[in-house]
Amino acid sequence: MEGMEKIHLLMVDDEVKFLQTITERLKLKFFDITSATNGKEAIAAAEKGRFDVAVIDLQMPGIDGVQVLEILKKNHKYLEVLILSGHATIETAVTCTKLGAFKVLEKPCDFDKLVEAIKEAYETRLKKKFEHDEIRIKQIQALALGQSPLGILKELAKMDEAEK
Amino acid sequence: MNDALNDMNAESLKFFGKVNASISHELKNILAIISETAGFLNDLTELAKQGKELKLSLLENCSNSIAEEIQRGFTTIKQMNRFSHSVDVAVMDVDLLDILDLMIGLTGFLSFAGKVRIEDKDQKFETITTCPFLLQNLLYRILCFAYECAGPEGEIRLRLSPEKDKGILLRFINSGQMPVEKFPDEKIKQTADLLGVEFKKNNSFYELNMLIPYTCDKIKDVEKNQ
């Protein structure tokens, strides 16, 4: 991954030692990482930064992983979320998948598998974003035909509003 | 009494399962830390082979971390062992402080668990004749209720005092309010009733008092039905 654009990763886990160690390891794999030890911090970090992928633990004090997943997916359209938990059951996996989780991994997880899953999630994000941009470019091209500059701007504002 | 016992048995199984699930989660967390730390040591070794400087402090941190997690694992397994053996004998003489200590340890694995402190831990009390498993169940549920009331940053203090010829008065003093309308729920009431535990009224929303008897007749029924 050296030489490539770094993947911006948000790691969320209340097990501080686990979070520190895995963050160090992922840094060596050239990820750009921000870590959070609870749901509240994670949501605040996601508001401030631009992340490609988030890796979230399920059981945390306060706002739990399922709630964090729901909020992040609602507020950050292209953010892909991986769940990494020692508490994952079939039921929680189904819930998380329905809420838009990219994958649910069980802790302890093989590090290479985690890295692979993060890369897959990143590629999915890029693909979704590319497809969205492509549609948008086509919409803009269609708008440009026969519209005044002011009309184009108004239509673009409407499109932006619809995407919120 | 039999219906109550059947309900209690089903609840007891649920409780046993719940506690074991939380222990397995704790052990998974410990193994995850050991696994990642060992992986990190491998990463550092690979980097050193490529000629990058290897910081000794990092190695030291990693080995300390592994040692600490192994110790945490031993403690968890000891608690699991103590808990598993609590069903060996239906009724026996127990040290309330011992049971409280174990329940504080086991509830500590829950994500919403806050701080708990037993005041005057060095006091000596008479043993109580009870069903240890049901008493654990009761204290576990009350601690969970108290954690939820205290919130993630809260603290619960436990104060114990002997009541002559009656039992031990256990007071939960919480930094958060414990709404009276939510306590005790049906399950807590049922378990407390079987154990002869009496909830004492007090005027504070921050305090919950219970008298755990030295012995009670209902416990003898539990023993017969086992």
Per-residue model confidence (pLDDT) at position A66: 95
Q: Which two tokens stand for residue B97?
A: 């402080």
Residue B51 clears pLDDT 80, i.e. is over it: yes
Average pLDDT of chain A to the nearest whole number: 89
* Contact present, B172 and B158 (Cβ < 8 Å): yes
Distance CA B68, CA A21 (A): 14
Q: How far apart are CA A48 and CA A73, in angstroms?
A: 15
Distance spanning both ends of chain A, measured CA to CA: 33
Comparing alpha-carbon positions, the chain B residue that sits nearest to A15 is: B29
Q: Are B138 and B104 in contact, with CB atoms under 8 Å apart?
A: no
Q: Which of B20, B22, B33, B63 to mutate to probe the A interface, most A CBs <10 Å?
A: B33
Would you say residue B144 has pLDDT above 90? yes
**Residue A66 exposure: Cα atoms within 13 Å on the Cβ side:** 13
pLDDT, position B4? 66
pLDDT, residue A157, reads 77
Least confident range of B3-7, B33-37, B185-189: B3-7
Indicate whether B80 pLDDT > 70: yes
Cis peptide before B184 (omega within 30 of 0): yes
Instruction: Look at residue A3 and tell me whether its pLDDT is greater than 60.
Output: no
What residues of A are in the B interface, CB distance below 8 Å? Answer: 14-15, 17-18, 21-22, 24-25, 28, 38, 59-62, 64, 86-87, 106-109, 111
Percent of chain B with pLDDT over 70: 95
In the predicted structure, residue A2 carries a pLDDT above the cut 60: no
Give pLDDT, residue B21.
Answer: 93
Among A3-7, B78-82, B165-169, the minimum mean pLDDT is found in A3-7
pLDDT for position A164: 53
What confidence score (pLDDT) does residue B162 get? 93
A61–chain B nearest CA distance, Å:
5
Identify the pLDDT of residue B179. Answer: 83
SS3 A27: helix
Amino acid at site A162? A
Q: What average pLDDT does range B130-151 have in this prediction?
A: 94
Task: Give mean pLDDT, residues B74-100.
Answer: 94
| Chain A nearest C-alpha distance from B66 (Å) | 10
Q: Does B107 touch chain A (CB under 8 A)?
A: no
Evaluate whether B87 touches B125 at the Cβ level (below 8 Å).
no
pLDDT exceeds 90 at position B96? yes
Six token digits for residue A35:
């870590």
| ipTM at complex level | 0.80
Question: Between helices A16-28 and B56-84, what is the axis angle to 10°?
Answer: 140
Quick one: pLDDT at residue A71? 97
Percent of chain A with pLDDT over 90: 63
Tell me which of A4-13, B177-186, B215-224 is least confident.
B215-224
CB atoms within 10 A of CB A98: 8
What pLDDT was estimated at residue A46? Answer: 96
Contact (CB<8Å) B111/A59:
yes
Looking at A20-29, A40-49, A137-146, B67-76, which range is the least confident one?
A: A137-146
Q: What is the pLDDT of residue A62?
A: 86
B179: preceding bond cis by omega (within 30 degrees): no
* Cα distances (angstroms) measured from residue B101 to each of A81, B31, B113, B136, B151: 38, 24, 14, 10, 21
Stretch B21-42: mean pLDDT, rounded? 95
> B48 has which bridge partners?
none
Mean pLDDT of the region B59-78: 96
The three-class DSSP label of residue B128 is strand
* Mean pLDDT of the residues in chain B: 90
pLDDT value of residue A161: 66
Look at residue A163 and tell me whether its pLDDT is greater than 90. no
How does pLDDT run across A75-95, given as a tens digit for each residue?
A: 998 999 999 988 778 898 999
A49 to chain B, minimum CA–CA distance in Å?
A: 26
pLDDT at position A101 over 90: yes
Q: How far apart are CA A56 and CA A60, in angstroms?
A: 10
Closest C-alpha among B161, B180, B163 to residue B171 = B161
Report the candidate in A40, A44, A38, A45 with the shortest Cα–Cα distance to residue A10: A45
Write down the pLDDT at residue B151.
86
Best CA proximity match to A12, nearest among B106, B111, B153, B155: B111
pLDDT of residue B5: 66
Q: What is the rounded distance in angstroms from the CA atom of residue B47 to the CA atom of residue A18?
A: 21
Instruction: Answer yes or no: are the C-beta atoms of A104 and A114 closer than 8 Å.
Output: no
Which position has the token pair 């329940």?
B103
Helix (H) or strand (E) holding A112: helix A111-144
Among A66, A57, A49, residue whose Cα is nearest residue A8? A49
* B163-202 pLDDT, tens digit each: 988 999 999 999 888 887 788 888 899 899 989 999 988 8
pLDDT score, position A162: 63
**Residue A64 confidence (pLDDT):** 92
Locate the domains of chain A by residue range: 7-129, 130-163
CA B81, CA A22: separation in Å to the nearest integer?
30
Beta bridge partners of A64: none
Pick the CATH number of A7-129 from 3.40.605.10, 1.10.260.40, 3.40.50.2300, 3.30.70.260: 3.40.50.2300
